[in-house]
């Protein structure tokens, strides 16, 4: 098992325990015992994965910190809605969105050869599915069977083959080092015009920033469409690369996430931790 994935599983268990027993403020010894490690080893694993200590990391999973980030993003005017930040622009150019036609989708993927691969990441196992046109799906999974079953519901008539490709390699490399590839990753997705507007808007959110559903609605010039924005975000088929995890509620609550709300919370905290770490190498 990949060390980052193994570390994620250890830390996920400890963070879930903290969230369930937040009022008790469990200390390092309690968390280490929870995952059957010595306090020293647990601290080492945590620093390897997050770049900071458990105590520092835990401040990033709080609603209070999320509200602070929302306020800071607006004060600095670096939210994705302006589309002006260099990091936001970089990520916007990182992927290239192409729309599958309604006819292709209605045929259930007939004539498509879908290549799939599972690989470990810092946030759990990922199922990657692509055709010759581009990446069709990228999702965090608990089991391969469930992941494939969910994706096959959208493309029941496609031919499925296990395998890799150059685009797969780009994505796997990205999840190893989180460095923007030299050429864009093509995404070949089905969605309504409204959904594509929302997904493109998500691409402009820089790492380290958070925004609200209302911010997204404003950015696509449909300020009253917050509920529809939430639905479109929930339909996003590309985990992390289209960063829907960076959208939270105005209250600072983290909100839903199709790949588990606790994972969303951990990814947000991980990004904050990496950016605050003195050894930060993220682009």
> Please, what are the averages of pLDDT over each run of 10 residues along the chain (283 residues)?
76 88 85 93 92 88 87 55 46 81 88 93 95 95 89 91 93 88 91 96 90 93 95 97 95 94 94 78 52
How many Å apart are CA 195 and CA 218, to the nearest integer?
14
Position 278 scores a pLDDT of 63
Position 3 scores a pLDDT of 66
Q: Which fold has domain 66-276?
A: Arc Repressor Mutant, subunit A (1.10.10)
What are the boundaries of each domain within the chain? Answer: 3-59, 66-276
Position 77 scores a pLDDT of 45
Q: Evaluate whether 3-59 and 66-276 have a shared fold.
A: yes
From residue 283, give the alpha-carbon distance in Å to each of 80, 208, 227, 272: 16, 11, 32, 13
Q: Which residue among 95, 244, 268, 269 is the active-site one?
A: 244
211 is catalytic: no
Position 61 scores a pLDDT of 87
Position 74 scores a pLDDT of 62
CATH 1.20.81 at 3-59, yes or no? no
From residue 235, give the alpha-carbon distance in Å to each of 78, 229, 238, 256: 26, 10, 9, 12
- Dump the DSSP string for 224-247: T-HHHHHHHHHT--BTTTS-GGGE
Position 19 scores a pLDDT of 83
Position 55 scores a pLDDT of 86
Q: Residue 132, Cα to own-chain centre: how many angstroms?
A: 24
């Amino acid at each position: 098992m990949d060390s980052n994935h193994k570390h994620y599983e250890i830390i996920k268990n400890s963070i879930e325990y903290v969230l369930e027993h937040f009022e008790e403020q469990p200390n390092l010894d309690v968390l280490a015992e929870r995952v059957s490690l010595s306090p020293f080893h647990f601290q080492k694993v945590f620093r390897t994965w997050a770049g900071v200590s458990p105590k520092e990391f835990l401040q990033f999973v709080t609603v209070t910190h999320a509200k602070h980030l929302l306020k800071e993003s607006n004060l600095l005017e670096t939210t994705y809605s302006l589309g002006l930040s260099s990091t936001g622009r970089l990520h916007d150019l990182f992927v290239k969105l192409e729309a599958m036609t309604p006819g292709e989708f209605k045929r259930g993927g007939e004539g498509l050869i879908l290549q799939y691969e599972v690989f470990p990441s810092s946030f759990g196992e990922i199922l990657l599915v692509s055709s010759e046109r581009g990446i069709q799906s990228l999702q965090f999974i608990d089991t391969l069977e469930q992941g494939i079953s969910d994706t096959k519901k959208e493309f029941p008539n496609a031919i499925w083959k296990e395998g890799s490709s150059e685009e797969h390699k780009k994505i796997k490399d990205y999840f190893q080092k989180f460095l923007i590839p030299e050429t864009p990753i093509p995404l070949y997705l089905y969605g309504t015009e409204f959904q594509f507007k929302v997904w493109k808007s998500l691409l402009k959110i820089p790492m380290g920033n958070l925004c609200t559903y209302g911010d997204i609605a404003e950015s696509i010039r449909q300020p009253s469409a917050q509920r529809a924005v939430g639905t479109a975000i929930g339909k996003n088929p590309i985990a992390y690369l289209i960063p829907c995890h960076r959208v939270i509620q105005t209250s600072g609550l983290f909100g839903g996430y199709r790949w588990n709300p606790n994972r969303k919370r951990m990814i947000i905290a991980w990004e904050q931790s990496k950016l605050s770490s003195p050894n930060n190498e993220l682009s």
